[in-house]
Amino acid sequence: MEKETKTGLPEESLNKGGKLQEDQDLNRYLLFTLGGEIYGTPLMAVREVCEFQRVKPIPHTVNSFLGVINIRGEIVGVVDLRVRLNYPPKESKIIAMMVFSTEEGALGAVADTLEGVAKINTQDIDPKPRIDSRVPTKYILGVGKHKNNLVTLIDLREVLEREEVVSLRLREKSLAA
């Protein structure tokens, strides 16, 4: 991975780097897999990739919310993409996770594997693919081609931005109270 993964300020690096840099950054995707399928999410939206650590479960939260972890003193929630994106739960050895900044705080996301960063040019992306996907269409940015593989490009930050973490039953209960 190159320098742009380090910076936490995507807007700034875009402004400084000028048009060419901007194009390159926007064409980069962080690839991950879920149930054997390859997905990509825009690299610029990823805050960081960190080593997987033991997750502390939080009661009264939905099944896709695994719990919280400590990243350099910051308490960060972790979402299981398998559950969130309608894949059957399966044990897998998780090595790393992606971290995104959402409006309500940082959120980590766990996939089956993280594959690295790939450059996919706009002309190699079909923006309106006719595909059957477990992922709701509104989050799909398109289907790109990378080394003879088809990569489903999704906006993970957007997926997490809409995350309802506190279990529905408790929400209803506290509304009724």
| CA dist., res. 91 & res. 112, Å (int) | 9
CB 91 within 8 A of CB 39: no
**5 touching other proteins, by CB under 8 A:** no
- Best CA proximity match to 63, nearest among 87, 43, 79: 79
Which residue from 19, 54, 130, 147 is in contact with other proteins, where contact means CB under 8 A? 54
| CA dist., res. 64 & res. 147, Å (int) | 31
Which residue from 2, 150, 170, 172 is in contact with other proteins, where contact means CB under 8 A? 170
CB 37 within 8 A of CB 152: yes
Min. distance of Cβ 143 from other proteins in angstroms? 29
Give the binding range for other proteins (CB under 8 A) out of 52-60, 112-120, 123-131, 150-158: 52-60
Copy the structure tokens of residue 105: 């705080």
Site size toward other proteins (CB under 8 A) is 39
Q: Site residues for other proteins, window 74-93 (CB under 8 A)?
A: 75-77, 80, 89, 91-93
| CA dist., res. 173 & res. 177, Å (int) | 6
**167 touching other proteins, by CB under 8 A:** yes
Q: Site residues for other proteins, window 58-77 (CB under 8 A)?
A: 58-61, 63, 65-70, 73, 75-77
- The phi and psi torsions of 3 (rounded to 5 degrees) equal -60, -30
Cα dihedral sign for 106, 111, 113, 117? negative
**163 touching other proteins, by CB under 8 A:** yes
Q: Which residues bind other proteins (CB under 8 A)?
A: 54-61, 63, 65-70, 73, 75-77, 80, 89, 91-94, 102-107, 110, 163-167, 170, 174
